Amino acid sequence: MNFFKRELKYFLWWIGARFPLLPSIMFHKVRPYLWRLIGVKIGKDVSIGYGVYLDIDGSHRVKIGNHVLITSECMILCHRRDLSNYRRGNLQKELSYLEKEVVIEDNVHVGMRSIIMPGVTVHEGAVIAAGSTVVKDVPAYTVVGGNPAKIIRELE
């Protein structure tokens, strides 16, 4: 990726994530707009809280549906180290990365300080409890929580 284009993406994300003024406008309008500019596919009526971290280099791998609420200080990760070939004596910093898509479908609520790992799909109507680490797909209309996130209950 072009150096200046990458730095511009980081700058736009930083402004959106950290700008302390006008919280309601930033939450409902500005952050989703800035995320679209850096490559995230976002539906309508999406709200993104303060300090949400996003893999900037993998922003094109994030898809967010309509009517999604992502609360403050969450993390959406699109890459991780590939540990499949990691053995004693290997250097961790020399391991390659696995890059996978993250899909958040319509009408999802992501609780504060949750982490969504690479390759996860959060299906329609799901709720992720605050502080959860989501490592596998979340079924539609369920509440998940914990580390790793497990189904707490199914919604009627």
How open is the CA angle 45-50-51, to the nearest 5 degrees? 125
Q: How far is CA 25 from the centre of its chain?
A: 20
Q: Exactly one of 28, 60, 67, 79 is catalytic; name it.
A: 67
Rg of the chain over CA atoms, in angstroms?
Answer: 16
How far apart (Å, rounded) are the C-alpha atoms in residues 61 and 79? 10
- Does 123 qualify as catalytic in the annotation? no
Cite the active site residues. 67
